[in-house]
């Protein structure tokens, strides 16, 4: 029944790794696949209504969950060798989860009651997300490292979501309500189907109220940075929904979604580089090697982020009508404005994951996040009423710049700032040249879809040639090329 949890935690099979990779690809690509269809069926205003109501219910969901994802997983991982402890702590933490969710579920019902009549229906449908918080046991499966189970579940729910949207969301059949039901409903289904699996790993232990409440304080400690980060990244959408039209929110949401695709790639790279950076930075004997490693990892991240940022901008004019359909032309301008945001976010991710976390300076990251949130709030209040979604992007830029600068205060001699600045300037120049080349290609007359393909392929080829020339004649360093080819060899091995 609970046998062998520790053993299973250490059994990192190749099959689990493959499932996890496929699952991550599905999670990343699902919004892009559905956007092609949803934007046309809903339109900018309905999409904005969906985003606004989703963000609001997610605030309550976040409060209900506290820091349980990190805390619960950590506690169970520490208890992995003792099935009795795992069972006791599971039922205590699960009891706390039900308690906190019930409190904020009641608060959300009160929130619905005070809404104007026009907003009650959508807010009520979005309650499915909060219902899911009662039975969200992802933290348990993360804690016992059952990657394959959660990966299969993610695959199932995402494919179910895509099928439901393609088959059921239709103009003239209340597409907004149907779409909202599908998004919240498939998420709830994915959580509920995991419940019967619990009995494989734990047995029933009656938790005491004292034991349940004992987990509240450590959860709250982990919750503070999560709260700051979540509010910071959802503030733009919340303020846009209240201060402008739902159309503006719909434009912003779609442009932000496109920009977040390359960010997921740089975030993944940062996660991959983190363990090695941690090892090298812990010992004084490896300081020189650490500097070299940080330089190479930063160069690779900035190479990709600059290329993707200017590459998306280079084809945005043709890409937006193909991807979103008519009525979303404003997204093109927003994508242009998001270019520096993407690059700055990538730099911030690098400093956080490759230096602050390995050197146990999380407090500085939390300070930076709060500072960024404050800047975002202040500038959004001034810019959004006047400039709408463009003002929100400007506020985000200033906020992310603040986060990056505050994080850089923790940098010492272990970080080769001069070399990294040269690399950033070099790839920035090459990316601008690529952008110009793509705009020249844009004068070719063809259908929008064909133009997008030509611009992406032409821009990528041009950028690769520039990089090869730079490595051979300017930097005279093939380390990045060797790193890239080495990664490809591992992938194909």
Every domain of the chain and the residues it spans: 5-214, 245-361+410-492
Among 297, 27, 56, 7, smallest CA distance to 186 is for 27
Report whether pLDDT(282) > 80.
Answer: no
Range in 25-29, 156-160, 280-284, 338-342 the model is least confident about: 25-29
Q: Tell me the percentage of the chain whose pLDDT exceeds 70.
A: 82
Report which of residues 1 and 197 the model is more confident about: 197
- Tens of pLDDT, residue by residue over 65-121, are 877 876 777 677 666 667 788 888 889 999 999 999 999 999 999 999 998 888 899
pLDDT at 401: 93
Report yes or no: 215 and 96 within 8 Å, Cβ to Cβ: yes
| DSSP annotation string for 396-455 | HHHHHHHHHHHHHTT--TTS-HHHHHHHHHHHHHHHHHHHHHHHHHTTS-S-HHHHHHHH
pLDDT level of residue 224 (50, 70, 90 thresholds): confident
Q: How many CB atoms lie within 10 A of CB 421?
A: 11
Residue 471 per-residue DSSP state? I
pLDDT at 177: 92
pLDDT at 172: 66
- Tens of pLDDT, residue by residue over 416-458, are 788 888 889 999 999 999 999 999 988 887 787 888 889 999 9
Report which of residues 299 and 221 the model is more confident about: 299
Report whether pLDDT(335) > 50.
Answer: yes
Four-residue CA torsion sign, 206, 210, 212, 218: negative
pTM, 2 dp: 0.68
Q: Which of 54-58, 219-223, 233-237, 478-482 has the highest mean pLDDT?
A: 54-58
Q: Which of 19-28, 211-220, 333-342 has the highest mean pLDDT?
A: 333-342
- Tens of pLDDT, residue by residue over 404-417, are 999 888 777 777 78
pLDDT at 417: 83
Report yes or no: 270 and 349 within 8 Å, Cβ to Cβ: yes
pLDDT at 247: 82
Four-residue CA torsion sign, 374, 377, 378, 379: positive
Average pLDDT estimate for 189-208: 89
- Tens of pLDDT, residue by residue over 455-485, are 999 999 999 999 989 888 887 776 666 655 6
Q: Where is 106: in which H helix or E strand?
A: helix 83-114
Range in 1-10, 50-59, 74-83, 379-388 the model is least confident about: 1-10
Computed over every residue of the chain, the mean pLDDT equals 81
Report which of residues 22 and 112 the model is more confident about: 112
Q: Tell me the percentage of the chain whose pLDDT exceeds 90.
A: 25
Report whether pLDDT(4) > 50.
Answer: no
């Amino acid at each position: 029944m609970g046998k062998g949890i520790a053993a299973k935690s250490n059994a990192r099979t190749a099959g689990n790794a493959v499932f996890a990779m496929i699952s991550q690809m599905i999670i990343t690509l699902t919004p892009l696949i559905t956007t092609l269809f949803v934007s046309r069926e809903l339109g900018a205003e309905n999409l904005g209504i969906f985003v606004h109501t989703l963000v609001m219910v997610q605030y309550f969901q976040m409060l209900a969950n506290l820091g349980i994802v990190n805390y619960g997983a950590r506690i169970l991982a520490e208890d992995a060798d003792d099935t009795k402890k795992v069972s006791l702590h599971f039922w205590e933490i699960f009891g706390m989860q039900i308690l906190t969710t019930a409190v904020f579920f009641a608060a959300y019902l009160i929130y619905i009651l005070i809404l104007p009549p026009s907003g009650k229906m959508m807010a009520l449908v979005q309650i499915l997300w909060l219902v899911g918080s009662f039975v969200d046991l992802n933290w348990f499966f993360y804690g016992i490292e059952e990657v394959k189970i959660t990966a299969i579940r993610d695959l199932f729910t995402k494919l179910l979501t895509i099928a439901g949207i393609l088959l059921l969301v239709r103009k003239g059949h209340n597409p907004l309500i149907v779409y909202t039901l599908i998004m919240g409903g498939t998420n709830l289904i994915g959580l509920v189907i995991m419940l019967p699996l619990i009995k494989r790993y734990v047995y029933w232990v009656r938790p005491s109220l004292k034991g349940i409440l004992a987990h509240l304080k450590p959860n709250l400690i982990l919750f503070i940075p999560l709260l700051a980060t979540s509010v910071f990244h959802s503030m733009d959408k919340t303020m846009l929904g209240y201060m402008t039209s739902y159309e503006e929110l719909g434009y912003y949401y779609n442009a932000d979604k496109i920009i977040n695709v390359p960010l997921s790639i740089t975030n993944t790279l940062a996660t991959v580089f983190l363990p090695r950076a941690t090892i090298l930075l812990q010992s004084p004997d490896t300081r020189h090697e650490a500097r070299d490693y940080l330089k190479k990892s930063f160069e690779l991240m900035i190479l990709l982020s600059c290329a993707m940022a200017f590459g998306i901008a280079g084809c945005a004019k043709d890409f937006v009508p193909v991807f979103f359909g008519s009525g979303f032309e404003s997204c093109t301008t927003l994508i242009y404005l998001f270019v520096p945001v993407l690059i700055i976010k990538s730099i911030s991710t690098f400093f956080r994951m490759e230096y602050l976390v390995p050197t146990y300076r999380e407090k500085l990251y939390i300070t930076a996040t709060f500072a960024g949130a404050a800047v975002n709030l202040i500038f959004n209040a001034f810019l959004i009423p006047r400039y709408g979604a463009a003002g929100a992007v400007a506020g985000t830029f200033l906020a992310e710049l603040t986060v990056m600068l505050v994080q850089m205060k923790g940098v010492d001699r272990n970080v080769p700032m001069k070399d990294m600045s040269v690399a950033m300037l070099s790839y920035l120049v090459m990316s601008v040249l690529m952008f110009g080349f793509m705009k020249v290609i844009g004068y070719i007359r063809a259908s929008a879809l064909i133009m997008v393909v030509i611009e992406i392929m032409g821009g990528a080829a041009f950028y690769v040639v520039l990089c090869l020339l730079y490595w051979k004649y300017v930097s005279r360093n093939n380390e990045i090329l060797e790193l890239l080819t080495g990664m490809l060899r591992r992938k194909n091995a």
